[in-house]
């Protein structure tokens, strides 16, 4: 038994819709993975930034301490 043209069109539309939905599902999965990766990268960069700020503060303190000692050495005794 042959299908009428309207039924064939409906089935074609349904197949196109299914293909589009599968594409969208793959896109969502890819974007979720990309988002997860970017969040991990952001977390790593935030931690690195905190370490660099801490190191910078430590270096600044050491330089300030050295300057103070040098100034103290310049004072007449």
pTM score, two decimals?
Answer: 0.66
Does 1 score more than 70 pLDDT?
no
pLDDT at 77: 65
> pLDDT by residue (tens digit) across 2-47?
778 889 999 999 999 999 999 999 999 999 999 999 999 999 999 9
What is the spatial distance between Cα 36 and Cα 27, in angstroms, rounded to a whole number? 14
Phi and psi, residue 4, nearest 5°? -75, 160
């Amino acid at each position: 038994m042959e299908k009428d043209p309207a039924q064939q069109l409906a089935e074609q539309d349904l197949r196109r819709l299914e293909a589009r939905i599968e594409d969208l599902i793959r896109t969502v999965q890819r974007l979720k993975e990309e988002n997860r990766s970017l969040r991990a990268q952001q977390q790593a960069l935030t931690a690195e930034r905190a370490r660099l700020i801490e190191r910078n503060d430590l270096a600044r303190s050491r330089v300030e301490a050295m300057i103070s000692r040098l100034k103290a050495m310049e004072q007449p005794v």
